[in-house]
Chains A and B, each alone.
Chain A
Amino acid sequence: MDFWISQVFNGVSYGALLFLLAGGLTLIFGMMHIVNMTHGSYFLLGGYVGLTVIWKTGSFPLAILVAAVAIAVLGVVQWRLFLHRLAGEELGQVLTTVGFALIFQDLALVIWGGEPYTIPAPAALTGAFNAGALYFPVYRVFMIGVAAVVALILWFVLERTRVGAMMRATVDDAEMAGGVGIDVRRISMSVFALGALLAAGAGVVAGAFVGVYPGADFEILPYAFVVVIVGGMGSLRGALIGSLLVGLLDNFGKALFPEFSYFTLFAPMAVILAVRPTGLFGRA
């Protein structure tokens, strides 16, 4: 029983991290239909920027803030210069954004070198809660908390505010949204910035959990895509459930069937997609 509880806990906390990454990606995907292979780079660069801020100031919250804002600006520049022209061209989007991912990977290598680093977590987030034979690291609880707060904020903005209504309208039908006077371009740009911001924040949070290292970008990217696609492009609820599903499948796969751990994750995902190509909560 203890095994199951702790594995579920681990799976949920990893799912929480994935949600931070996938929450923004699903909105980008749903709204702009942009296949953004640079999303993993925002995660990686966010981690590195956070690392530098921690080294200079020692402040964890400041690290998250600076990394998130810096990478959001980077994302907007990239979108303005290249991506918005490639609407409807999946192949062009894939190749262009992979190109950016390679360039960012190399720049990170130039600036931060090839060594793996760990972002020191604030003292308050270290240690663990004990319950009998079980123990729950505080940091994992923190990740779940952050994801829950972000999910609530996103839900509130999307469902309860005017800007959110404009965003939902743009996801549903960009042309009609433009027709009723919504500035689709500006909305799209904000969503793109939001996605990059969340991914960079996730990078800092993950930096104190799994570390910051070259290759983390392409390692996490397939997970984020699978979450988004299984949940359904543009669906926040889908991203949340998809994150939990992927986090749990990944964790149980690695614990129970080490030799087939990725198979037990990606094969069910492929089957779900084949049965419901638009994802669990997506609309065509």
Chain B
Amino acid sequence: MSGPAPARRLLVPLGVLVLLLAAPPFVSSYVLTLLTQSVIYAIVAMSLDLLLGYLGLASLGHAAYMGVGAYSVGILATRHGAGFGTILAVGVVLALALAAVFGLLALRATGVYFLMITLALGMVGWGLAYRWNSLTGGDNGISGVPRPALPLPWSLGEALPFYYFALAGFLLSLGVLWVIVHSPFGKSLVGIRESETRMRTLGYHVWLHKYVGFVIAGGVAGAGGVLWAYYNGFVSPADLELGTSVEVLLMVALGGRGTLLGPALGAGIIVLLKNLVSVYTHRWLLILGAAYIGTIVYAPEGIVGAVRRLAEGPAPAPARPEA
């Protein structure tokens, strides 16, 4: 891909990173909660971008992996007093395992059929959280999740240290995903998105590559779910709702699929929008609905995609899921 010098391209993300690092001590506690929610949702949105942007697979069940991470925290932290390291490991491994099972089923289909299988699988996750009372607390969820107690000079019970903790999680996930999408494996995913037949002819094991991408996306979303549960102090079936999966899809589409940082930006915008609009009006569903429609009508390639197109002139066609 030809574009402006890498240095110029990094200018904006680096500026945002400096702001994310330097500004929080000076913002109000309300803004801080929004920033914390944003960076956590950004992890989940970036993980979905691996599927949607790089593999061209639109999933309607991504909340399931986030939910597995969240419920790992809820159950292990409140009932078994497990520490952060254990819980993170369990949450991510369970999310990977769930994605490994779901992937076997879902990757048999593409396009609309993939959407629908992932919808059914997502509902399986939600149904278990909602009904399996003895394990999940059912509709009431699990409350009273303590913040992680780590040997740090700052207590993660405080808003500011927890924000930096979540930010570290975000940067780590970004790093992992960045390495993956820029590796030969990541390039093979884009190749598969563009033409499965061509990649197969070139000797790639197409299914295996898709499967590995699918499982990794689930694992990263699980890590996001772990942070989300610690942040909220509470997990409930709402974390696994169809609406949550769709919202993450919107974040990816709004920010710009196939760009990693775009979906992170999309996550921030949606979190801000949901919270700020509800301060001023009860009609926030209306605004959110308009955001969904507006994204598709005015920014089908997403914000980052549109900005890149403006900056670079005619660019390669934006990522589109296979029809």
Contact = CB atoms under 8 A, between A and B. Distances in A.
B249 interface: yes
B24 interface: no
A202 to B, nearest CB: 20
A269 B118 CA distance: 11
Contacts of B119: 222, 225-226
Nearest to B283: A106
Contacts of B133: 259
B127 interface: yes
B321 A266 contact: no
Most chain A CB neighbours (cut-off 10 Å) among B111, B241, B292: B292
Interface in A61-115: 82, 86, 88-92, 94-96, 98-103, 105-107, 109-110
Contacts of B300: 92
A114 to B, nearest CB: 11
A124 interface: no
Contacts of A103: 285-286, 289-290, 293
Interface in B282-323: 283, 285-286, 288-297, 300, 320-321, 323
Given A91-B249, A103-B289, A103-B290, A96 B120 contact: no
Contact of B60 (A29, A94, A269): A94
Nearest to B250: A95
Contacts of A166: none
A35 interface: yes
A64 B106 CA distance: 39
Most chain A CB neighbours (cut-off 10 Å) among B130, B286, B295, B296: B296
B127 A273 contact: no
B123 A90 contact: no
A31 to B, nearest CB: 13
A190 interface: no
Contacts of B127: 260-263, 265-266
B150 interface: no
A269 B120 contact: yes
Contacts of B295: 95
B132 interface: yes
Interface in B76-113: 104-106, 108-109, 111-113
Contacts of A89: 320-321, 323
Contact of B124 (A82, A258, A267): A267
Given A221-B242, A263-B127, A277-B113, A226 B134 contact: no
A262 B321 CA distance: 29
B109 A277 contact: yes
A153 interface: no
A259 B290 contact: no
Contact of B292 (A86, A88, A98): A98
Nearest to A272: B120
A221 B58 CA distance: 18
Contact of B253 (A95, A105, A258, A271): A95
Contacts of B120: 222, 225-226, 229, 266, 269-270, 273
- For chain B, the bracket of interface size reads 35 or more
A278 B246 contact: no
B52 A91 contact: yes
B250 A274 contact: no
B123 A266 contact: yes
Contacts of A37: 246
Interface in A245-271: 258-263, 265-267, 269-271
B128 interface: yes
Nearest to A226: B120
A261 B133 CA distance: 11
Contacts of B246: 37, 94-95, 98
A33 interface: yes
Contact of A225 (B116, B285, B292): B116
Nearest to B102: A270
Most chain B CB neighbours (cut-off 10 Å) among A95, A106, A274: A95
A139 interface: no
A27 to B, nearest CB: 15
B58 A94 contact: yes
Contacts of B296: 86, 92, 95-96, 99
Contacts of B39: none
B44 interface: no
Nearest to A219: B242
A48 interface: no
Contact of A222 (B52, B242, B297): B242
B253 A91 contact: yes
A89 B283 CA distance: 29
Given A29-B112, A90-B112, A98-B289, 9 more contacts: A94-B249, A95-B295, A100-B293, A222-B119, A263-B127, A266-B120, A273-B113, A277-B113, A278-B113
Interface of B: 52, 58, 60, 104-106, 108-109, 111-113, 115-117, 119-121, 123-124, 126-128, 130-134, 241-243, 246, 249-250, 253, 283, 285-286, 288-297, 300, 320-321, 323
Interface of A: 29, 33, 35, 37, 82, 86, 88-92, 94-96, 98-103, 105-107, 109-110, 218, 221-222, 225-226, 229, 233, 258-263, 265-267, 269-271, 273-275, 277-278
19 contacts: A90-B323, A92-B296, A95-B246, A95-B253, A96-B292, A98-B292, A99-B294, A102-B288, A110-B283, A222-B123, A260-B128, A260-B132, A262-B128, A262-B131, A263-B124, A270-B120, A273-B113, A274-B104, A274-B108
